[in-house]
Structures are given as structure tokens and as C-alpha cells.
Homo-oligomer: A and B are copies of this chain.
């Protein structure tokens, strides 16, 4: 695509040669001729003068500029970069239509413009909206409903009666609607399974990562609210609610019945106990373990989770605990010596 056309479609002001052909977007360290790159973080400014890219997306007030590349000015360089990637790449969806090697129940209701790959199973009474893309080997259970413009990648399992909104993306191998981990201990110490057949709802604009699992509950529902983004290998237990626009990074685990409110951010491997409420806008750093409910806006770390500021300070001391202990030992020695001296000192004055 000509840079001039790209500038138009990205709503950027063009500085330089608009006739150059742009083939792809690349990071500033690897970009070469034919590449569009970007600087959103000033720490990469130093790389700008010698970049070999053909064009660079820059903020209007960017301090540095490339020596030879053209410039696309944008108030939001990172957002413009995201749009540029979309314009210059292709998703290779399966061809429009329904692969003949699929198993679609006779009463499943599919819009006419779906793409359904090989070995896809769609159960009785399931329904599918427009422009849905289902990659090979996906299973959609009986009665599941998937709305418009969804993309379901290979090997995903959408269990019976799960409801999925518009523009949802499900990555490969994700499981939505597996049985919650609910058992009752019986008199003989064995565990009776509580049947888990209640609802799972995934609202609009959600993304669900590869091999992530979202359980269904025995009663009530598990709900992923609009715009939540969930990374790979995340565990969402039965009856959990994930708030709007909440971000859960890889390998996060949320135990049963916990409510995560809107705009929460959890970094990788965070764990949250069951039956809690995590307030709007909470941020938890990687590996944080959250055993109690949190107020809106808290910024937490550690296990058990405490305020990030306190955790940073305490962690800085943790590594010096041996030294701290030695200082206590030394204090004990000095004080014993003082006590002895004072006894000696007082004796004369007691005379």
C-alpha cells in the first residue's frame, strides 16, 4: 500500500514521500525498507535517527525524528500502530461456507454468511449469527448461541447452552462451560458431584485466550462482561463474574463465586480466592495472591496481597532479614553488656 493511502486511512498527517510502498509494520529495531514502524515510548527515541524503516508513526511533539524515513503524525501513535497492523495484515480465515466434513445438527440455525471449517460439530438447537468464523475441530454444544462477527479458533469447546455475544474472539483450545469444581463431602469422606448445568454468558467484545477454561456453576451463572480481555491458560471458576473491560493476563486463576468488577487489571499468575468482591479498577501485580475482598482502586502485590507500596518496602527489607536479625543479636549483646556494666556502676553508688 502506498504510504499516502495509508496516511489517509489512518488519519495521519504525512511528512515525506507518499509514493513509497509499505508492505508491513515492524518494530523499530527490526524495521527495514518497505516497513512502517512507530515510536510511542520516548525511550526508543534514540533508535530513531538510524532506523532503516521507510516510515515512522510519531506524536506531533516527538523530540526526535528519523534522518531519512517519512513520518506519519498521530496524537495516539500506539493506537495508530494498531490500526496500521490491521490494514497491512491478513487473518487467513477459512473460506466462506460450511465444510462438508462438519457435523451440523439438523435444527441448528446458522446465518448464511458463516465460515465453518472441517470437523466442526454444532449441536442440536445451537444458533450462530452473521459473519461468524469457526476454525476446524471446534465443538459447539447443543443449545449454545453465538451472536454476530465472532471468531472461534480451532480446538475450542463451547459447551451446551453457553451464550456468546457479538464480536467475541475465542482462541484455540479454550473451554467455555465445563463443569464447575463442586462437590459435597459425604459421611464416608467421599465427594458427591453437584451437577453443574447452569448458565455461562460471555458478553460482547470479549477475548478469551488459548486453553483458558471458564466453568459453569450448579446454580446462577458465570458471566464475562462486555469488553473483558482474558489471556491464555486462565482459570475462571463456576459462578464468577468478570467486569467490563477487565484485563486478566496469562495463568490468572479466579476461584468460585468471586465478583471482579469493571476495569480491573491482573498481571500474570495472580490468584484470587472464592466468594470475594474485587472492586472497580483494582490492579494486582504478577503472582499476587488475593485472599480477601478489595476496595475499588486498590493497587496490590504479594501474598497475602497488601498495598503495592507497602509490599515494595517490605520486600526490600525481606532480602536483608539476615542482616536485620544480626543487628538484633548485636543489640542483645550490647544491652547485656550495658546491663552488666550498669549493675557494676550502680553497686558503688548503692554503697
Contacts and interface: CB of A to CB of B under 8 A. Distances in A.
How many monomers of this protein are in the complex? Answer: 3
A326 to B, nearest CB: 10
A287 B268 contact: no
A209 B219 contact: no
Interface residues of A, number: 127
Nearest to A303: B287
A191 B247 contact: yes
| Best-buried of A86, A139, A156, A317 by chain B (most CB within 10 Å) | A139
Given A172-B175, A286-B303, 13 more contacts: A85-B197, A135-B139, A175-B211, A189-B263, A190-B227, A193-B207, A267-B273, A268-B271, A269-B269, A302-B318, A313-B321, A338-B342, A345-B349
A334 B137 CA distance: 73
Contacts of A273: 267-268, 286
26 contacts: A26-B219, A30-B219, A79-B192, A82-B182, A82-B193, A86-B194, A89-B197, A103-B119, A117-B121, A118-B121, A137-B139, A141-B154, A183-B247, A189-B245, A189-B263, A233-B253, A237-B250, A255-B268, A269-B289, A286-B291, A302-B303, A302-B319, A324-B325, A331-B331, A331-B335, A345-B346
A220 B26 contact: yes
Interface in A236-256: 237, 245, 247, 249-251, 253, 255
B321 A317 contact: yes
| Best-buried of A197, A302, A322 by chain B (most CB within 10 Å) | A197
Contact of A334 (B99, B123, B227, B339): B339
A69 B242 CA distance: 32
B27 A82 contact: no
A233 B239 CA distance: 18
A73 interface: no
A311 interface: yes
Contacts of A142: 92
